Amino acid sequence: MAVSSEIDPTTLSQPRRAGVVRQREIKYGWLFASPAIIFFSLFYLYPLGRALYISFHRWSLLSQPRFIGLGNYARLITDPEFLNSLKVTFYYTFGTVIPIWILALALALIFHENFRWKQFYLTVYYMPAVITLTVWSLVWLLMYHPASGLLTLFTKPLGFEFIRWLNDPNLAMPSLILLSIWKGTPFYMIFFLAGLRSIPTTYYEAAMVDGATWFQRFWYITLPLLRPVMLFVAVFSIIVAFQVFTPVFVLTQGGPGSVTRVMPYFIVQNAFDFLRMGYASAASFVLLLILMGLTFIQFRAIGSQPD
């Protein structure tokens, strides 16, 4: 039987048609993504590049920038005010995020269980997370008032009257940390709660059949399966803590002295109070490098999967 030598023309056009469709998808993809790309370029990439350029110059906003190379960065290394702000920032960050991690996970474990009025308590406890940080800081400014603040109602019966929470060098930073813990814990609790609800209950049922205790189920099932959520919470909370500004500006203005002068406040103060734009830009890039380093460490420590 003879075999036909004719080739179906549709088989030749299929690869070409697929290529045309693919090019069309790419074209429309770039078209729909262009607003976001333009926005990101104008308000993120360009300011970042401009700040890097300024960091190599001495510029007071009142004169032309003068190139000084790495002079600003070299000055930062020997500046006691900058080194103090770096120490204060680490103190605030880890004094805030570590309690937040523990409390947020503990509260998520509690709200993951079923009990009466659960949704009501969850809603009430989450309310601080939806209040703007400026309003929250003003509320705590009133609470910290040494004569008529809300905290005085608790300290006065104990024999402690007229405590200057924000003017005492030993109490100013713990006061900021307490404000931030109360504000941030409900926010991160929701992420832990979502992670707990995504864990299949069959794992716990099988472990209970094998006689595993609550701690064993928590240690060998809950924590390993919460690893992605823990990584997100750790990275995001540290980035937010390193960028703290509003509570410091509203409550202490970096004082008393410089015990609460965190790096963002140090940067803003040098840029707009002392008109050292190049110096402030260099400090901001040092802050960026620190955050990148801490994020890398967290990805290696938490993000890596166990063998």
Please compute, for residue 9, the number of CA atoms within 13 A of its CA located in the half-sphere on the CB side: 0
Predicted pLDDT of residue 307: 44
Q: What is the mean pLDDT of residues 154-170?
A: 85
Q: What is the mean pLDDT of residues 97-121?
A: 93
Check pLDDT > 90 for residue 155: no
Q: Select the more confidently predicted residue: 254 or 21.
A: 254
- Average pLDDT of the chain, as a whole number: 89
* Residues in CB range of 145: below 8 A, 6 or more apart: 152
Q: Which residue has the tokens 């997370």?
A: 129
Predicted pLDDT of residue 63: 86
Q: Select the more confidently predicted residue: 149 or 72.
A: 72
Predicted pLDDT of residue 11: 52
pLDDT in tens, 265-299: 999 999 999 999 999 999 999 999 999 999 999 88
Q: What is the mean pLDDT of residues 212-237?
A: 93
SS3 state of residue 66: strand
Q: What is the percent of the chain with per-residue pLDDT over 70, rounded to a whole number? A: 93
Predicted pLDDT of residue 62: 86
Closest CA to 204 of 193, 191, 218, 185: 218
pLDDT in tens, 195-204: 999 999 999 9
- Distance, CA of 273 to CA of 283 (rounded, Å): 15
Check pLDDT > 90 for residue 161: no
Write down the CATH number for the domain with range 72-303: 1.10.3720.10
- Distance, CA of 203 to CA of 196 (rounded, Å): 12
pLDDT in tens, 82-95: 999 999 999 999 99
Q: Provide the phi-psi class of 276: left if phi over 0, else alpha when psi is between -120 and 50, else beta.
A: beta
Predicted pLDDT of residue 19: 72
